[in-house]
Amino acid sequence: MNYVEKVLKNLKKLNPNEPEFHQAATEILTTLAPVVDKHPEYEAAGLLERFVEPERVVMFRVPWIDDKGKVHVNKGYRVQFNSAIGPYKGGLRFHPSVNLSIIKFLGLEQILKNSLTGLPIGGGKGGSDFDPKGKSDREIMAFCQSFMTELYRHVGADTDVPAGDIGVGGREIGYLFGQYKRIRNEHVGVLTGRGLAYGGSLVRTEATGYGLVYITAEAMKARGDSFKGKTVIISGSGNVAIYACEKAQSLGAKVVAMYDSNGYIYDPVGIKLDIIKDIKEVKRGRIKEYAERVAGATYKEGCSGIWTIPCDVALPCATQNEIDENSAKILVKNGVKYVAEGANMPSTLEAISVFQNGGVVFLPAKAANAGGVATSALEMAQSSGRMFWSFEEVDEKLKNIMVNIYHNIDKAAKEYGYDGNYVMGANIAGFIKVATAMMAHGIV
Ligand code: NDP
Ligand code: 2IT
């Protein structure tokens, strides 16, 4: 058994019942074999064993009171995974499915994603099994204040800087920031995704979706291709999906389908994004309403049917494992050319193989959705410098970062003899910087 296999086997034994964490670790570690073969000093230093073990895991109770006076208790998490190249950085997810396995898979991915941005940020992730759906603003505030009343002692502008993820957007970041500031009596960049009125950065709202389209456009450009005239499917209808749609449309693509967790809409002439924004951002409603408002559009219950719609480009932007082997096969059969992951780990391991064997250009999450956290790091830079850049300046920096990520992962894949395999390229390019820093720090 080689070093990677030993570490993976042990990880599964020591962390039972964590299937998402096993999945992310398997995807990452199996691609690192050629790197650790070249560097026998890594095994001697127990580097992979340390890489897959979080530096710190914080779990806490979050009690809060609903509008009827009933007491609820949720679970809170912050996994501070790796600080070798910078302070822990990564989002908070509020969704009923959240558990330790999910936060650990997200944290592990985040380490390499943050490294790929080229900016000095380590990896972390957190969240709660709290379900924001259907809650009043006061209930959201009560929950966020209780969550931060424990979290504040573990985070800090130079220690650990959380941001948004599923179920955590501008409203939640505002309440979390307000409580942090109140407890610590300091107005610092402890969270990113802040409102523009209190230290946020322009473009952070759009960054993940825009970045996803920028890197996909660069992969297209390298093949003499572009978004112009492409038919695109985007799953999800939250922050990432909406701004991926906006940028893809502005580059001349036709986005024909999107979903929420209940079902999908299909609009063969192209989705009207202002209506999606009104339903999702303004009213916090259900996507079903789109088909009631737009003639010619249809709605179907259930999510996986979306992948049966023929398209050139698929941008999964909702959640983990939303594309399984069967959906991947249908996409390939229908002629998909590019799959770029806006969500974290939206494709199962089997689905990834189907794409790679089917000749699809596949851009994995840690490269494709790094624009969000990269712009978070730009927000950190701006707030420490107490200087703010224009929309155009931040957008230009984001675009450059995504273009560089594409070329770095392409180069790493080629260097190791896996031309066009961006799973290999992203994992290797991201890992090398983290490994170099960890080796420099000694056994810590
Ligand atoms: P939002 O909460 O804004 O939107 C999430 C969207 O995905 C909603 O449309 C939601 O539907 C849907 N969704 C969530 N869970 C499921 C599910 N189990 N089945 C079907 N649909 C589901 O989150 P974001 O847009 O911020 O995040 C989307 C993805 O992008 C996540 O994987 C996140 O980790 C990743 N990501 C986010 C970044 C960011 O900056 N926000 C950065 C990088 C990655 P419904 O409303 O019905 O729940
Ligand atoms: O998965 C992610 O990269 C995010 N949710 C964004 C993290 C961040 O710190 O901006």
Among 99, 130, 166, 347, which is best to mutate for testing ligand 1, by the most ligand atoms less than 8 A from CB?
Answer: 166
Cβ–ligand 1 distance for 114 under 6 Å, the answer no
Query: Using CA atoms, how far apart are residues 308 and 235, in angstroms rounded to an integer?
Result: 12
The pTM is what? 0.98
For residue 375, the ligand 2 atom closest to its alpha carbon is: 10
Q: One digit per residue, pLDDT tens: the chain, 444 residues?
A: 899 999 999 999 999 999 999 999 999 999 999 999 999 999 999 999 999 999 999 999 999 999 999 999 999 999 999 999 999 999 999 999 999 999 999 999 999 999 999 999 999 999 999 999 999 999 999 999 999 999 999 999 999 999 999 999 999 999 999 999 999 999 999 999 999 999 999 999 999 999 999 999 999 999 999 999 999 999 999 999 999 999 999 999 999 999 999 999 999 999 999 999 999 999 999 999 999 999 999 999 999 999 999 999 999 999 999 999 999 999 999 999 999 999 999 999 999 999 999 999 999 999 999 999 999 999 999 999 999 999 999 999 999 999 999 999 999 999 999 999 999 999 999 999 999 999 999 999
Nearest to 341 by CA among 324, 365, 360: 365
Among this protein's residues, is 89 annotated catalytic? no
Cβ of 238 closer than 6 Å to ligand 1, yes or no, is yes
Q: Which of 208, 210, 402, 405 to mutate to test the pocket of ligand 2 (most atoms within 8 A of CB)?
A: 208
Which one of 104, 125, 247, 337 is the catalytic residue? 125
- The finding on whether 365 has its CB within 6 A of some atom of ligand 2 is no
The CA-based angle 292-297-301, given to 5 degrees, is 75
* Centroid of ligand 1 to alpha carbon of 205 (angstroms): 13
- Nearest residue to 163 (alpha-carbon basis) of 124, 209, 131: 124
> Rounded to whole angstroms, how far apart are CA atoms 13 and 17?
9
Which ligand is closest in space to the CA of residue 241?
A: 1
Residue with CA nearest ligand 1 atom 32: 343
Q: What are phi and psi of 95, to 5 degrees?
A: -160, 140
315 lines ligand 1 (CB under 6 A): no
Q: Letter for the amino acid at 317?
A: C
- Cα–Cα distance between 395 and 406 in angstroms, integer? 17
State if residue 166 touches ligand 1 by the CB under 6 angstroms criterion: yes
**From residue 257, how far is each of 293, 297, 383, 432 by CA, in Å?**
15, 9, 38, 38
Beta partners for residue 375, in sequence order: none
Query: Does 167 sit in the ligand 1 pocket, CB within 6 Å?
Result: yes
Is 272 in contact with 297 (CB distance < 8 Å)? no
Closest listed ligand to the CA of 346: 1
Count of CB atoms situated within 10 Å of the CB of 426 = 30
CA–centroid distance, 184 to ligand 1, in Å, is 31
CA of 263 to the centre of ligand 2 (A): 25
